[in-house]
Structure 1
Amino acid sequence: MRLRKYLFVIGFLFVPVTLYVVFVIAPYVQAFQISMTSWRGIGAPKWIGFENYRKLLDDGSFWKAVEHHGVLLVALPLITLGIALFFAFLLNVGGRASGGVRRGVWGSKFYRVVFFFPQVLAVAIVAVLFQTVYRPNESGLINGVLMKLGLDPVLFLIKPGLALWSIIGVLVWQAVGFYVVLFSAGMANIPGEIYEAAEVDGASRVVLFFRITLPLLWDTLQVAWVYLGIAAFDAFAIVNVLSVDSGGPDGATTVLAVEIYRNAFTYQKYGYASALGVALFFLTITFAALALRVTKRESIEY
């Protein structure tokens, strides 16, 4: 009987596990293998051991990209989750109580659709859209208004100190709607009696948020933080389309995915690009493991 159960489970798992090994695990292993070679995409690779990794440690572009990922890892989750939590709270329990049940603000169902709309758009479309928003002349959405008011245009994507933050703004705009919906689903599972009891004790909305909503949403918040951290290690499409000269100006917005693309398809250094990819893989895995470890806490039952 037990043998039949194991055979049944293996039968169901065999195909998906095989596909995962072939299309996910095998490419990672192959990337590590290529990273140990000097290869231009044609001909036989030349084995050079860890030379690409030694070169990587002395590469200023690599460390600049890592620095930018550090900024993204802090700014993107904090800003996105802060905005998403605020709006989700308003849409679910920020309105007046009706029949003893606290509801969201007026029109909350419509606002959920509006917030989620950026998720419907492809990443490339979002990047092209914000190219129009950030244009440094009168044809730009923002600078067109500023120039009509007699103000100087803002060089969002040209000024090195502002370019990365302009791109972070796009990433936040694109991501916040998904997390509003995610947190709304979590808040919908919190019993209304808890809010009602707290209000009877005189709790304000600020107290409701920090003492009830936030602790009971901690597991969802933890997962969201990891997702956004992984997104911070990617950001290739937005940076590649929006930035000046793919990661510029002067490397002010470069990320590891852009460096991988440049080394592989511009310089034909596939071995070095693979080494960068392996480094990105381990950085992402390390962040996810640390984030889950640091934010781990006991679940609250209700």
Structure 2
Amino acid sequence: MKHGRLRFLVGALLPALVLHVVFVLSPYGQAFYLSLTDWTGVAGEARFVGAGNYARLGGDSLFLDAVRNNAVMLAAVPLVTIALGLFLASMLHLGGRDGRRGIAGAGGYQIVYFFPQLLSLVVVAVLWQFVYNPTNGLLNGALRAVGLDGLTRSWLAEPALALPAVMAVLIWSSVGFYMVLFSAAIDAIPKELFEAALLDGASGWATFRSVTLPLVRDTVQVAFVYLGIAALDGFAVVQVMSVGPGGPDGATEVIGLSLYRNAFTYGKFGYASAMGVALFFATLTLALLALRAGRKERVELA
């Protein structure tokens, strides 16, 4: 009986394992190998250059600009998105005196906030291109309508404003999803905890800080990992929205865009693979650090 169950498990898992190796692990292995060559994407034997491609990354000023911009996005996009998502989710639960029952029409608000998730990032980027248009865009038009003509700008053409404008789009497109996610996490908190806080005379902020936030910490941690990965990418929005793309003057350059340009414009597939491997390890490190920090907090709480 035991051997029959073992054969069944092996027969069930082996096809999935083979598919995983062929379609997931194998491309990773090929990318790692190509990063050690000077392959140009043309059929033929690639010359092995070892760590030469990685050494070039440190002297590539455009790649360093991309690393800097991705670091700024990593610092801003997850924190702002999570803060807004938690704020909106909490506001939807302040209608009841127990601190948990949703306000009237909370479901409708969630649908409205979630709406950007129904659009692909490319569509979102195109829409926001029209919003940021310096001549007849919605943003400058609104500023002119209220007499603030002096604040109108070429939002995507000024180096100091281009990256914040792109980050604003990433945040806008993501915050609705995480608001719904945090709302579901708050709904899962036992009602008795909110009632106990209310009986103790805790204010709304004290209840959020002492009850809500600690009990949605795991959800916030997962959100940070996903948003961090999105911030280390940013390719689709930058490709569509930015001047250049990646401009002006590299102000919106990101690693994914440098990778794409080197591979499909310059034919430097080996060098582009080295960028991809560097991005892979940066993303992996971020996820491991976030998960480790979350586990450490749980151990300390225990």
Correspondent of 1:115 among 113, 134, 139:
113
Contact 2:132–2:156, Cα closer than 8 Å, also in 1 = yes
Aligned to 2:222: 223
Aligned to 1:127: 125
Change (3 A) 1:25 1:62: same
In 2, the alpha carbon distance for the partners of 1:3 and 1:271 equals 47
Alignment of 1:144 onto 2:116: no
Change (3 A) 1:300 1:181: farther
Amino acid at match of 1:183: F
1:16-55 maps to which residues of 2 (within 5 A)? 16-42=16-42, 43-55=44-56
Contact 1:157–1:163, Cα closer than 8 Å, also in 2 = yes
Contact 1:102–1:196, Cα closer than 8 Å, also in 2 = no
In the TM superposition, residue 70 of structure 1 has moved relative to its aligned partner by 1.2
1:106-255 maps to which residues of 2 (within 5 A)? 106-137=104-135, 139-148=136-145, 149=147, 151-152=149-150, 153-255=152-254
Q: Which runs of 5+ in 1 are unaligned?
A: none
In the TM superposition, residue 142 of structure 1 has moved relative to its aligned partner by 0.6
Change (3 A) 1:114 1:268: same
Moved over 3 A (4+): none
Deviations 1:41-77 (A, max 9, x none): 1132122221111111211112211111111111011
In the TM superposition, residue 284 of structure 1 has moved relative to its aligned partner by 0.6
In 2, the alpha carbon distance for the partners of 1:235 and 1:262 equals 14
In the TM superposition, residue 252 of structure 1 has moved relative to its aligned partner by 0.5
Deviations 1:250-283 (A, max 9, x none): 1101111000000011111111001111111011
- TM superposition score normalised by structure 1: 0.94
In 1, the alpha carbon distance for the partners of 2:167 and 2:261 equals 21
Q: Which runs of 5+ in 2 are unaligned?
A: none
Contact 1:219–1:299, Cα closer than 8 Å, also in 2 = no
In the TM superposition, residue 106 of structure 1 has moved relative to its aligned partner by 2.1
Greater CA drift, 59-68 or 264-273: 59-68
Amino acid at match of 2:22: V
Equivalent pairs, count: 297
In the TM superposition, residue 193 of structure 1 has moved relative to its aligned partner by 1.3
1:33-112 maps to which residues of 2 (within 5 A)? 33-42=33-42, 43-91=44-92, 93-97=93-97, 102-112=100-110
Identical-pair percentage = 49
In the TM superposition, residue 102 of structure 1 has moved relative to its aligned partner by 4.1
In the TM superposition, residue 96 of structure 1 has moved relative to its aligned partner by 2.8
Amino acid at match of 1:47: F
SS of 1:136's equivalent in the other structure is coil
Structural RMSD (CA): 1.6
Aligned to 1:261: 260
Deviations 1:115-154 (A, max 9, x none): 11111101110000000011111x1001122234350322
SS of 2:198's equivalent in the other structure is helix
- TM superposition score normalised by structure 2: 0.94
